[in-house]
């Protein structure tokens, strides 16, 4: 998974990883949350917006990891 999303395919792959992990585990691991936060921070705003749209569409319960004020937000 890239640290910076350059295309919608990069974002789609990230969303699939989130879906697969949450289908097998109750929580996302810290390394994955931190990696995705890096992509959110370093990617084009259009890709970030697309990420949030796709997570909301396919795995809305995962939004809690990436919302403002989340306890999982990296320091």
Q: Where are the domains of the chain?
A: 8-65
Q: Report CA-CA distances (Å) from 15 to 12, 20, 54, 75.
A: 5, 9, 7, 23
Query: What pLDDT does residue 74 have?
Result: 56
Q: How far apart are CA 31 and CA 15, in angstroms?
A: 15
Query: What pLDDT does residue 2 have?
Result: 56
Query: What pLDDT does residue 3 have?
Result: 82
In the predicted model, residues of the chain with pLDDT beneath 50 are 75
Q: How far apart are CA 29 and CA 6, in angstroms?
A: 24
Query: What pLDDT does residue 71 have?
Result: 62
Query: What pLDDT does residue 63 have?
Result: 94
Whole-structure pTM value = 0.89
Q: Report CA-CA distances (Å) from 4 to 27, 35, 54, 71, 73.
A: 23, 9, 16, 23, 18
């Amino acid at each position: 998974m890239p640290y910076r999303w350059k295309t919608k395919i990069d974002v789609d792959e990230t969303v699939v990883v989130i879906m697969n992990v949450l289908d097998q585990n109750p929580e996302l691991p810290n390394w994955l949350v931190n990696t995705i936060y890096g992509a959110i921070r370093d990617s084009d705003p259009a890709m970030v917006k697309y990420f949030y749209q796709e997570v909301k569409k396919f795995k809305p319960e995962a939004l809690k990891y990436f919302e403002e004020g989340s306890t999982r937000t990296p320091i």
